[in-house]
Amino acid sequence: MEKITGKFLRYIATDTQSDPESETQPSSSRQLDLLRMLDNELKALGISSSLDEYGYVMATIPSNCGKDVPAVGFIAHVDTSPDASGAGIRPQIIENYDGSDIPLKGVPGLVLKVSEFPELAEYKGQTLITTDGTTLLGADDKAGVAEIMCMAEYVVTHPEFKHGDIKIGFTPDEEIGRGVVKFDVGKFGARYAYTMDGGKIGELEYENFNAASATVHIQGRNIHPGYAKGKMLNAILIGMELNALLPVEQRPEYTEGYEGFFHIVSFNGTVEEAEFSYIIRDHDIDLYEKRKETMKKCVDFINAKYGENVASVEIRHQYYNMRKEVEPHYHIIEKAVKAMEMEGITPIIRPIRGGTDGANLSFMGLPCPNIFAGGHNFHGKLEFVPVESMEKATKVILNIISLFAE
């Protein structure tokens, strides 16, 4: 069997960055390179697998337990975040990590510091995979992909391992909120599923943000600066003023737990015209709706001050909190808890300060909590993953399968 490190390194070598500006599915054709690879690897293992026109790999390992047990699925996404490059990843492998700061050798002076990331100390003696500082790593979610593929390889090479129907799914475009827009739950065939898309070892999540994106457009009026008095409307400055109307303490860097936020993610503009992009998040549905109204009120204030239609906003819903869809099937959480405890892992049950494909799948009739994949510092150049966490995640998957087959 190929070790999980080998699988992970092969998968991150393929650039699969999704593209939020694209309207295609998948949003970038490069995601198909890895999806085809996974489809072929599953088939090479003798597993029935297909890759459809929308970029979904679906596979089935038939039951061998002789019992009528629910089909259980495991899902991971292949795309990496648009927030940092995923091309030409040069990972660093630190064996028997000694607990000290880790220089990221591709960028002089860039260091993973224990003082800034104290969780590093938890992995002393383990093998860490980091970036070299020039790209993200791709553990979100190629760690999950590798864990599921290791599970599949184990099951088919160990016929004595008893299990019900096992469903495997790999999706594109999760990072841009479109991962399962065209996912056929009926075709997938699972009664319950788990996304392998969480962070540090032990994480187990069945609550997530309600989420929306907001694009604010400012139409300014550019006049020669020598003659601008009383005439110019500087779209950049007006946009900055609108942003300042949003509560500072409700930015991501000041919030935690169940606290929601407004997050400006990009800005592009000139004096004549500017565009500001935001994400809006809250676990509570009423507060989520109020946040959207707050954004609209900021736009109304700007228009009242500078003139009608100077500012406009388009708000797009992305996903809802999955809790109300998962909680009635709490036994799937209990199985995940027991599966972790069987490996000596203390479950960390807390709300996701983000979202997963499982959120939308849960509202599509497939209850789908989220389990740790093992990585840290997702979406950036300081990303890392302990190999031992990925190995444990694979064992947790196998334990869940066994518990469903009992």
**HEC assignment per residue over 72-137:** EEEEEECCECCCCCCCCCCCEEECCCCCCCEECCCCCCCEECCCCCHHHHHHCCCCEEECCCCCCC
Given the residues 19, 79, 147, 175, the one annotated as active site: 79
pLDDT of residue 177: 83
Low-confidence ranges of the chain (pLDDT < 70): 1
* Full-model pTM: 0.87
Instruction: Write the CB contacts of 347 (distance below 8 Å, at least 6 apart in sequence).
Output: 202, 204, 336, 337, 340, 341
Instruction: Return d(Cα 75, Cα 171) in angstroms, integer.
Output: 8
The answer to whether residues 110 and 38 touch, using CB atoms and an 8 Å cutoff, is: no
User: What pLDDT score does 133 carry?
Assistant: 96
Could you give all domains of the chain from N- to C-terminal order, each with its CATH number? Answer: 4-208+321-405 (3.40.630.10), 210-319 (3.30.70.360)
Q: Where are the beta strands (DSSP E) in 166-303?
A: 166-171, 192-198, 203-205, 210-219, 261-269, 273-282
Does the annotation count 147 as an active-site position? no
Q: Is the Cα dihedral 121, 88, 18, 75 positive or negative?
A: negative
What is the spatial distance between Cα 322 and Cα 283, in angstroms, rounded to a whole number?
10
Summarised one tens digit per residue, pLDDT across range 54-88 is 999 999 999 999 999 999 999 999 999 999 999 99
Comparing CA positions, the residue from 98, 329, 347, 352 lying closest to residue 206 is 352
> Residue 111's pLDDT is what?
97
Rounded Cα–Cα distance for residues 252 and 230 (Å): 37
3-state helix vs strand vs coil in the chain, percent to 5: 35, 25, 45
Amino acid 1: pLDDT? 67
Instruction: List the catalytic residue out of 141, 165, 174, 391.
Output: 174
pLDDT in the model for residue 5: 97
**What is the length of the chain?**
406
Active site residue 174: yes
